[in-house]
Amino acid sequence: MGVRKLVPLTVTPELQQKLIQIHDRLCQEYECPIAYFHDLDPLSELVSALLSHRTRNADSAHAFAQLREQFETWEAVRDAPVKDVEAAIARATWADQKAPRIQQVLKLISDLLSRDHPTAPLSLDFLAEMTEIEARAWLEALPGVGPKTSAAVLSFSCLRRRALPVDSHHHRVACRLGLIPASVAVGPSHAILESQLPAEWDAQQVYDNHEVLMLHGQRCCYYQKPACDRCVVLDLCPFGQKGYTSKTGG
């Protein structure tokens, strides 16, 4: 497993100050600090993240709960007939694809751990001993794991590490605010948006940054017909200003 390489990025003081202004206003709007919604071990968080891809939160949560109810351990999930795993996660989108992928990931983790410790339990707790860059490189070498999933495992799990996931809502709001170009896809946007965060921010502040941008996308900056008239960062938003001024005749 190699070390994750981050492309050096230039962040101007003006851009970082804008990010901080946006963060502060949205934190006031959505009442930071925001409580973590999970306290799972990192392996469970990884499975949860794999289930959540392109799936409504309620459905992925149900699929995860059913998986945990039907199988006592992740070893049992790993070794079960794939049809049994697929049935347990039926509420998740593409359950027929996710079931074999989850088993593939669990088997690969087991194989990697057994190289050095043949009797090692199936766990990702060892990530706590790695730096964020090393841990994300390890995770992203697994099939189906990209920057969003690796950041989610480190941030959302009980590890509570400093990592920034970017979902579609977060990405849309960041593009409209001019934090990233609209041409940058969700995957590559992780490195750019992470580079803009103040180095002194702790894990809670980084988590809050993701949460408030995501919440703003869900509750105000909709994909269609964003509610610019009640946006608390309208004056910092090139997208909103363009549409808002044209409607008001400004």
Q: What is the pLDDT of residues 194-225, one digit of tens each?
A: 999 999 999 999 999 999 999 999 999 999 99
Domain boundaries, the chain: 13-35+164-242, 42-123
- pLDDT tier at 6 (50, 70, 90 boundaries)? very low
Q: What is the pLDDT of residues 78-91, one digit of tens each?
A: 999 999 999 999 99
Report whether pLDDT(249) > 80.
no
Topology adopted by domain 13-35+164-242:
Endonuclease Iii, domain 2 (1.10.1670)
Q: Which amino acid is at 242?
A: K
Report whether pLDDT(41) > 90.
yes
- pLDDT tier at 1 (50, 70, 90 boundaries)? very low
Q: What is the pLDDT of residues 104-145, one digit of tens each?
A: 999 999 999 998 788 889 999 999 999 999 999 999 999 999
| Averaged pLDDT of the chain | 93
139: left (phi over 0), alpha (psi -120 to 50) or beta: alpha
- pLDDT tier at 2 (50, 70, 90 boundaries)? very low
Which CATH class name applies to 42-123?
mainly alpha
- pLDDT tier at 243 (50, 70, 90 boundaries)? confident
| Helix residue ranges per DSSP H, the chain | 13-30, 42-52, 57-70, 74-79, 82-88, 95-116, 132-140, 147-156, 168-177, 186-196, 203-219, 238-248
- Confidence (pLDDT) at 120: 83
Half-sphere exposure of 173 (CA within 13 A, CB side): 29
Report whether pLDDT(4) > 60.
no
* pTM of the shown model: 0.90
Encoding tokens for residue 213?
């941008």
- Confidence (pLDDT) at 9: 62
